[in-house]
């Protein structure tokens, strides 16, 4: 475990968001979440804005879901974040 430095790397952000989301949803790992999500039409999603960890259930191909905190279309499904779904 290490505290996040103030980096603005988007690719690193994706992995962090997946980790946060898996933790929020009670999965042991990102892989377990992806495996579970890939058999379901409704999957966990998370806002990808820096500093916002809003999570909600979204459709598996959601990449512009509404974030209730940011009021922007920045919620992506875990499958999109993991690039499982095209
Ligand atoms: Zn947000």
Residue 45 has phi, psi (to 5 degrees) of -135, 160
How far is ligand 1, taken at its centre, from the CA of residue 35, in Å?
25
How far is ligand 1, taken at its centre, from the CA of residue 31, in Å?
23
38-56: per-residue pLDDT in tens?
888 899 999 999 999 999 9
Q: How many residues does the chain have?
A: 86
pLDDT value, residue 12: 65
Give residues whose Cβ lies within 5 Å of ion ligand 1: 47, 49, 52, 54, 67, 69-70
Distances (CA, A) of 70 to 39, 82, 83, 85: 29, 22, 23, 25
Residue with tokens 């820096």: 50
| Residue 38 tokens, joined | 């890939």
Consecutive H or E run containing 36: helix 30-37
How far is ligand 1, taken at its centre, from the CA of residue 63, in Å?
13
The pTM (predicted TM-score) of the whole model is 0.81
pLDDT value, residue 7: 47
Residue 59 per-residue DSSP state? E
- Percentage of the chain beyond pLDDT 70 is 84
């Amino acid at each position: 475990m290490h505290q996040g430095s103030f980096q603005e790397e988007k690719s690193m952000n994706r992995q962090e968001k997946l980790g946060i989301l898996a933790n929020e949803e009670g999965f042991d790992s990102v892989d377990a979440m992806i495996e579970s999500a890939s058999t379901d039409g409704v999957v966990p999603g998370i806002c990808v804005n820096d500093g916002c960890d809003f999570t909600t259930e979204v459709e598996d191909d959601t990449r512009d879901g509404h974030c209730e905190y940011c009021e922007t279309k920045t919620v992506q499904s875990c499958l999109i974040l993991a690039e499982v779904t095209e």
